[in-house]
Amino acid sequence: MACRIKKFAILFFMTFSFMVNAKYTIAIYTDQKDNKNANEYVELMQKTFPFNVYEIDYKIIGLEPKDLPCRVETDYKPGTAPSDPKTKVSESSVKCDQVALIKKTQEMHADQAMVIKTDTEFAGSGGDIAMITTATPVSALLHEFLHVLGFCDDYEYKAKDADIFCKDDGSVQNGVNAVIITPKDNYKGDSDARRLHWSAITWNKLIENRTPITNSNGSKLGTGDINKDLAPANNTNSFTILDDPIGLYKGKVCNNASKPIVVWHPGGKVSIMDNHTAGLGVAYEKLVMKILDSKGVKRKSNAPEKEDDDEVILVQPNKPAGKNQSYYGESNPPASDSSTKTYDQRNPFKVLGDLLKDAIYGNGSQSK
């Protein structure tokens, strides 16, 4: 039987190799002569979990400075000598003709553009593409790439920035890793907090039942505050171990706004969205995997197995749980919208895998 399964598997993969997609390709544009930083960035990505367990190709495109449509902007006080750091009005920022770069990326059949621009200033930016200068450590480019994927900053904004960018309508500081929740003064336990806020916590499927989202005997919101420990760099093929449980941790990004708003994050340690020398931490690793999976980026064979989202079932948004329903237990499944099925539900590979198991073992077999 083992031999038959082996033969079947070989045939299966041979056949499916015709319909396997091209790899997800990141094009890195740089005007640095030896491409040193671009190579460093590729090395970083190839060893950093979870990016290292996905089929991602990197293409480094070396360009002459005149051919890279980017510049570094710094404002200086009028009438002062340019480049004198003492006369700087604002920090530097990298600006590119993104459309031109993305068009070029499309033409080379790649998926995502990044830029490393030669300059002595320390700056980066993220949005539709990720950019840094050559003076900036490449770990900051990973921070910027996470912005591209939908992550918000975790670091504390200065008062002048916080007043502009911390809006209580959630238009800015709501992302895959951040949510604005104004806590009540007092809760009647963890269930009360879950009933009120569960649907607002976008990563709630990652929070285990045993992890509270409250402290002080369920009276205060938050699994805790983000502590001062940096999430370690993770160069293994699996999730960070010895991390805090995924929960609801009080962040600091908007602490300095004149009208402070409370932003919450899933991880308890300082992450790369706070400090670019930190790792992602288990919460962001899981979120990145969800994002890459949903983009159709293929996992390598050494990647952790896909987790079943249905393991943690949610309360239906804005509906208090009934007497016989737990807020996050098995008896209260989320409302499903047929037009927004999860990727797994429609994944033809998974469906076919199950069918093949049936073909080999008979109809009684059950996939995981």
Pairing of strands 130-133, 112-117: parallel
Q: Which amino acid is at 66?
A: K
Do β-strands 93-96 and 70-73 pair in parallel, antiparallel, or remain unpaired?
A: antiparallel
Contacts (Cβ under 8 Å, ≥6 apart) of 270: 154, 226, 227, 228, 229, 230, 231, 278
Measure the CA–CA gap between 269 and 206, rounded to whole angstroms. 16
Shortest Å, Cβ 114 to other proteins: 13
Q: How far is the CB of 10 from other proteins (least distance, A)?
A: 9
Q: Are 271 and 282 in contact (CB under 8 A)?
A: no
C-beta closer to other proteins: residue 63 or 356: 356
CB of 105 to other proteins, least distance (A): 7
- 8 Å CB contact between 145 and 295: no
Q: How near is the Cβ of 2 to other proteins at its closest, in Å? A: 13
Decide if 99 contacts 72 (C-beta within 8 A). no
| Residue with smaller CB distance to other proteins, 302 or 340 | 340
d(CA 270, CA 280): 9
Compare residues 76 and 122 and give the one whose CB is closer to other proteins.
122
The structure tokens listed for 89 are 């009005």
Nearest alpha carbon to residue 178 among 271, 310, 78, 63: 271
The answer to whether 155 touches 181, Cβ cutoff 8 Å, is no
We find the least distance from the C-beta atom of residue 176 to other proteins, in angstroms, to be: 5
Angle at 287 between CA 201 and CA 41, to 5 degrees: 140
Using the minimum distance from each CB to other proteins, give the nearer residue, 324 or 339.
339
At closest approach, how far in Å is the CB of 210 from other proteins? 25
* Residue closer to other proteins (CB basis): 218 or 239: 239
Taking the least distance from each CB to other proteins, the nearer of 23 and 184 is 23
Given the complex with other proteins, which of 296 and 320 has the nearer CB atom? 296
CB of 30 to other proteins, least distance (A): 17
